[in-house]
Amino acid sequence: MMKRKIVIAICCAVILCALTGCQLAKESAGANTNEDKLIGVLITTDHLDLFDYEGNLNDNSFQGGEINMDGRNTQKHQGRLYAVLVSRTDTNEETGETLPTNEYVFEGIEGIRYFVPTIQIAEEKDSFFATMSDPAISDGHTDLFFGDDENRVSIEGTIYIAPINKMHTYYFNPVYQNMDGSVYAVSGNGFMVNNEANREGSVLFQTMDSTTTITKNGKTTIESISIKISISVMFAPEKIVILQMDPDNAITFRREYKPEAMPRDFTLEKDTAYFIVETHKRDDMGNMIISREIYGRDIENIEIFFVRADGVCVKHWTQIL
């Protein structure tokens, strides 16, 4: 026996855009009687057209030139996009050690995935939670809580977008996992972000919350998940400049990089007391703006952003040697 309640909300922390044609659905308790649970979201810039129109028309009747739609039949024809569990091997660049891992991917779909599925260990009864996130998700973190009668999951992250186009459209497609382990996405709601009046730092965020009550063998367990995805405007970095400074505040070394060409590691000169990282950008009027960060020799790594072809600014880390 299971009861589930899902609430989807969208909020603007700062005035970011005009939302047009955005009608967010709310799924109330009892709307779905299966044992699937919400585990995250698949964000796409194209609508996932998964509805079976032909099957829906066959299940509904025509009367007086009008189609009488049965809500139960309509719900039945809401399609699913199933993910595929694939194996890959990651290699530690420092040690050369290889680590096999499994992940769910939506083949043939361009999107930003961010979800926490349960993965069963082959030939064992044990299972574990795995966070699967696209590089477009920055500042992401996952919180897990497991109790005797309650399990809670919370995931949060930010997508930084550069206003290179006047309009962005994003669809937040809920991702579910069935009791048999299969993972699928369903069509979600979309909204349009108008970048014409945007300023760097403007933020919009969407949340999804789901609570599931499962009763099995007389034991009741509450499982809940909270999802928060922020979309923040960032002017695209054009150039990164690193200035190494000596104890007398004189520049001893200067190097420029394209953001997408930043090295994996960077070695400081022996006489460097501290260094400055300049990020050069252009605002929406074409004016050059420069931001500066000061770091000491004890810093282990620095982070910069570079913009992808789709307008998403992706975070990159450079290790300081």
Neighbours of 35 (CB within 10 A): 16
Pick from 311, 6, 13, 319: which is nearest to 170 by CA?
311
Neighbours of 193 (CB within 10 A): 22
Residue 138 has pLDDT above 90, yes or no: yes
- Phi (first) and psi of residue 56, to 5 degrees: -65, -40
Q: Which residue has the higher pLDDT, 173 or 200?
A: 173
What's the rounded Cα separation, in Å, for the pair 35 and 73? 20
Neighbours of 297 (CB within 10 A): 11
Q: What percent of the chain is predicted at pLDDT more than 90?
A: 46
- Whether 174 and 188 have beta carbons less than 8 Å apart is answered as yes
Domain co-membership, 196 together with 47: yes
Domain co-membership, 294 together with 172: no
Domain co-membership, 247 together with 219: no
What's the rounded Cα separation, in Å, for the pair 279 and 240? 5
Domain co-membership, 194 together with 218: yes
Question: pLDDT value at position 205?
Answer: 86
What's the rounded Cα separation, in Å, for the pair 183 and 318? 34
Pick from 113, 74, 321: which is nearest to 229 by CA?
113
Max distance between CA atoms of the chain, in angstroms, equals 88
What's the rounded Cα separation, in Å, for the pair 126 and 100? 17
Mean pLDDT of the chain: 80
Q: Token pair for residue 292?
A: 């500066």
Work out the pLDDT band at 90, boundaries 50, 70, 90: confident
Give how far Cα 218 sits from Cα of 52, 149, 151, 214, Å.
38, 12, 17, 10
Residue type, 203: V
Domain that holds residue 76: 2-233
What's the rounded Cα separation, in Å, for the pair 44 and 110? 7
Give how far Cα 157 sits from Cα of 19, 87, 93, 142, 189, Å.
21, 25, 26, 9, 19
Pick from 3, 41, 8: which is nearest to 26 by CA?
8
Domain co-membership, 208 together with 249: no
Last residue of a domain, one of 233, 266, 295: 233
- pLDDT tens-digit profile of 50-81? 865 555 455 555 444 444 444 444 455 468 99
Domain co-membership, 74 together with 215: yes
Domain co-membership, 193 together with 271: no
Question: pLDDT value at position 242?
Answer: 97
Domain co-membership, 269 together with 153: no
- pLDDT tens-digit profile of 193-246? 765 556 788 888 889 999 888 777 888 888 899 999 998 989 999 999 999 999
Domain co-membership, 50 together with 193: yes
Domain total of the chain: 2
Last residue of a domain, one of 199, 217, 233: 233
- pLDDT tens-digit profile of 245-270? 999 999 999 999 999 999 999 999 99
Last residue of a domain, one of 176, 207, 233: 233
Domain co-membership, 226 together with 84: yes
Pick from 303, 316, 301, 166: which is nearest to 233 by CA?
166
Q: Token pair for residue 6?
A: 């899902």
Domain co-membership, 213 together with 283: no
Q: Token pair for residue 237?
A: 């970095």
Please tell me the chain's helix, strand, coil percentages from 3-state DSSP, rounded to the nearest 5. 5, 55, 40
- pLDDT tens-digit profile of 280-315? 999 888 899 999 999 999 999 999 999 998 889 999
Domain co-membership, 172 together with 254: no
- From its phi and psi, is residue 111 left (phi > 0), alpha (psi between -120 and 50) or beta? beta
